[in-house]
């Protein structure tokens, strides 16, 4: 007999020809880690945040944390955490050695679910901080590694997101930001974000596309990789089978200027 997660996953595959989301109020089981998550259900005034869904980019990021350069003493931040899947899975992998902060919009329901998901998985060295992108980041702190999944879909928030990223990333040559972006609002939405990095002294370290249509299958084979091409010609169904893997770092000129201050 199929378990509820398998039924949900196969139903979504039939409806959408790819695995996009699970829905608010459900308990989601991340197969690769065995951790369980309640999905956020924010106030109606904040439904436009789409925090009440788990999109494939978050599962993909949680499944590929081995690709992230992480030291035991690193401070890690997940922005736009939603239900906190990548950050909580990372905390489990690090066995509490990395300090992990989960952050999302300061909606009480979202933050309460994040706290609940930490508690239900019995994880230590974690905290939850509400933050609206572009505002003061003092409560967040400074981080060696920043994670974010599906935070680029709305270009109206790109500049405020860049501002927060530039305020929270530690000013070192090995500090990194790892972003996984779905393509449901098109390729040029992602490209426009990449073009806004320069004024914030951030630059692309890596960017490429990764096949992500088997993210719910922990036994799936290694996914395909291909170069990032904002002008790639494909239909919507095929486009949604891919995510963009982006790694950002400080521009060398910005780090050099810091050495002279």
Cα(147)–Cα(80) distance, rounded to whole angstroms?
Answer: 9
pLDDT band of residue 10 (cuts 50, 70, 90) is: very low
What are the domain boundaries of the chain?
A: 4-259
CB 256 within 8 A of CB 207: no
- Whether pLDDT at 54 is above 60: yes
Q: Residue 34 has what pLDDT?
A: 93
The tens digit of pLDDT for each residue in 156-197 reads 999 999 999 999 999 999 999 999 999 988 899 999 999 999
The pTM assigned to this predicted structure is: 0.88
- Whether pLDDT at 8 is above 70: no
The tens digit of pLDDT for each residue in 20-46 reads 455 555 788 898 899 999 887 766 655
Nearest CA to 124 out of 144, 100, 145, 148 is that of 100
Nearest CA to 147 out of 216, 220, 94 is that of 94
- Whether pLDDT at 15 is above 60: no
3-state secondary structure the chain: CCCHHHHHHHHHHHHHCCCCEECCCCEEEECCCCEEEECCCCCHHHHHHCCCCEEHHHHHHHHCHHHCCCCCCCEEEEECCCCCHHHHHHHHHHCCCCEEEEEECCCHHHHHHHHHHHHHCCCCCEEEEECCCCCCCCCCCCECEEEEECCCCCHHHHHHHHHHHHHHECCCCCCEEEEEEECCCCHHHHHHHHCCCHHHCEEEEEEEEEECCCCCCCCCCCCCEEECCCCCCCCHHHHCCEEEEEEEEECHHHHHHHHCC
- Whether pLDDT at 138 is above 80: yes
CB 168 within 8 A of CB 139: no
Q: Residue 6 has what pLDDT?
A: 42
The tens digit of pLDDT for each residue in 192-236 reads 999 999 999 999 999 999 998 777 665 555 678 999 999 998 888
Q: Residue 18 has what pLDDT?
A: 42
CA angle in degrees (0–180, nearest 5) for 46-34-237: 55
Weakest mean pLDDT among 21-25, 66-70, 105-109, 195-199: 21-25
User: What dotted CATH number matches 4-259?
Assistant: 3.40.50.150
CB 61 within 8 A of CB 149: yes
CB 180 within 8 A of CB 57: yes
């Amino acid at each position: 007999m199929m378990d509820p997660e398998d039924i949900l996953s196969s139903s979504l595959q039939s409806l959408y020809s790819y695995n996009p989301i699970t829905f608010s109020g459900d308990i989601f089981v991340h197969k690769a880690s065995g951790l369980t998550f309640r999905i956020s259900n924010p106030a109606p005034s904040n439904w436009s945040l789409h925090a009440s869904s788990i999109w494939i980019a978050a599962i993909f990021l949680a499944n590929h944390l081995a690709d992230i350069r992480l030291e035991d003493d690193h401070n890690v931040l997940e922005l736009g955490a939603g239900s906190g899947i990548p950050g909580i899975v990372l905390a489990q992998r690090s066995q509490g050695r990395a300090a992990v902060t989960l952050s999302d919009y300061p909606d009480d329901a979202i933050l309460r679910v994040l706290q609940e998901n930490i508690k239900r998985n019995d994880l230590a060295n974690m905290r939850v901080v509400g933050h609206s992108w572009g505002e003061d980041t003092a409560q967040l702190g400074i981080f060696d590694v920043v994670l974010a999944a599906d935070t680029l879909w709305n270009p109206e928030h790109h500049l405020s997101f860049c501002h927060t990223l530039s305020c929270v990333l530690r000013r070192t040559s090995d500090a990194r930001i790892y972003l996984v972006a779905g393509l449901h609002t098109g390729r040029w939405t992602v490209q426009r974000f990449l073009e806004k990095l320069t004024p914030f002294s951030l630059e692309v370290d890596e960017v490429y596309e990764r096949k992500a249509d088997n993210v719910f299958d922990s036994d799936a084979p290694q996914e395909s990789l291909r170069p990032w091409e904002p002008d790639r010609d494909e239909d919507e169904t095929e486009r949604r089978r891919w995510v963009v893997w982006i790694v950002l770092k400080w521009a060398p000129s910005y780090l050099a200027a810091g050495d002279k201050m």
